[in-house]
């Protein structure tokens, strides 16, 4: 079994979900008392969020690249960055390590292809919905991406940072997300990317009339598969 390196804390609410999913899935596949081999480097999200607001992406990238290096030195075989937004700096991180970083948009795109979905709606932080670093990565995998309008994007972003990152699950916010997803479906979306790792805390598959792609779950399952590849496990 390979050792999974996690860069978490963005927010710790979703990082805890990663830890749970990784261990549950590993035990499901191997049985007994098996669990995942994990090394976690958790950052102070306030520091990262300040860089986001200030547009200091290089500084944030340096912080996360140093995290990646520490995981490599600690013995991780590959890395998961437990956030969609900060994949904006993944190339900066990749230059500093010699182990793979599993890109969350690539893992999600594979899952979308598996469902034979061609057009998706994207929910996430304003950075993820509005900038090209994420949408373009999905589009380069042959998938059309649409996003909500500006007013809706602002509210979606507010709910992420002021509720979900703090562990607050509000029914009014769930209803708002459901209405936005329905509007995207009416615009032709055949699926919805939950493109922020906290959104899966609020929205479940039964909340949407089309498939939802929970990026945190997909990312974690992809990591389990990678940790177990290259031969049969003998433990």
- Tens-place pLDDT, residues 74-126: 999 999 999 999 999 999 999 999 999 999 999 999 999 999 999 999 999 99
* Integer Cα distance of 213 and 38 in angstroms: 24
Q: Tokens 């990646």 appear where? A: 68
Q: Could you list the active site residues?
A: 83, 196
CB hemisphere CA count around 160 (13 angstroms): 27
* Integer Cα distance of 114 and 170 in angstroms: 32
pTM of the model: 0.92
Residue 39 bridge partners (DSSP): 5
* Integer Cα distance of 235 and 228 in angstroms: 12
Tell me the percentage of the chain whose pLDDT exceeds 90. 97
Closest residue by Cα to residue 6 from 43, 40, 45, 35:
40
Residue 234 has pLDDT above 90, yes or no: no
Show the CA angle centred on residue 176, arms to residues 180 and 190, nearest 5°. 30
């Amino acid at each position: 079994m390979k050792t999974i390196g996690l860069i978490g804390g963005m927010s710790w609410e979703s990082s805890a979900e990663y830890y749970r999913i990784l261990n549950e899935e590993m035990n499901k596949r191997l049985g007994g008392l098996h669990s995942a081999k994990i090394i976690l480097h958790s950052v102070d999200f306030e520091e990262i969020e300040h860089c986001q607001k200030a547009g200091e992406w290089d500084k944030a990238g340096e912080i996360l690249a140093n995290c990646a290096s520490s995981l490599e030195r600690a013995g991780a075989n590959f890395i998961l960055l437990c956030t969609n937004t900060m994949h904006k700096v993944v190339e900066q991180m990749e230059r500093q390590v010699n182990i793979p970083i599993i890109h969350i948009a690539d893992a999600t795109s594979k899952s979308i292809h598996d469902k034979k979905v061609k057009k998706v709606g994207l929910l996430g932080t304003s950075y993820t919905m509005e900038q090209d670093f994420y949408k373009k990565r999905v589009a380069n995998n042959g998938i059309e991406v649409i996003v909500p309008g500006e007013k809706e994007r602002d509210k979606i972003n507010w709910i992420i940072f002021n509720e979900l990152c703090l562990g607050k699950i509000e029914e009014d916010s769930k209803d708002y997300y459901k209405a936005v997803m329905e509007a995207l479906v009416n615009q032709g979306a055949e699926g919805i990317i939950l493109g922020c790792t906290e959104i899966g805390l609020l929205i479940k598959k039964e909340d949407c009339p089309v498939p939802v792609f929970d990026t945190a779950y997909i990312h974690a399952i992809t990591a389990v598969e990678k940790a177990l590849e290259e031969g049969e496990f003998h433990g």
